[in-house]
Amino acid sequence: MQTLSQRSPILMALALGVFAPICEELIIRGNFFSYALAERFDQPRYQLVTVIVNGVLFGLLRGGFSWVQLSYYTVMGLVLAATYILSGRDIRVNSVVHVTANLGLMLMA
């Protein structure tokens, strides 16, 4: 990864900042929510549970064993899950939010 970022920072930015978040959204939010909310999308209590489970799963899949990283990714997963529901299950909105967050983090690093 470090070699790729040194040799081709633009390619690295596209891969990690744009393509990876879009793929994650399609897999995590697209598949998870399509399955989990198929019949109960209008029930607020079920939506809340689904957002929490989705956020925790996102954190566990990305956070590793560091509490700081686990916390950050769990919060990000909660935000993305809530965004998905509030946008009317529009995966494009989530993709834009996720891409923006990743590119922002890359610029700060």
Contacts of 54 (CB under 8 A, 6+ apart): 28, 29, 32, 33, 36, 77, 78, 80, 81
pLDDT reported for residue 61 = 85
For residue 4, pLDDT over 60 is answered with no
pLDDT reported for residue 95 = 92
For residue 87, pLDDT over 70 is answered with yes
* Per-residue pLDDT tens digits for 13-28: 888 888 989 998 888 8
> How does residue 1 score in pLDDT terms, banded at 50, 70 and 90?
low
Rounded to the nearest angstrom, the gap between the alpha carbon of residue 14 and the centroid of all alpha carbons in its chain is 16
CB atoms within 10 A of CB 44: 9
Q: What is the mean pLDDT of residues 79-101?
A: 91
Residue with more model confidence, 36 or 55: 55
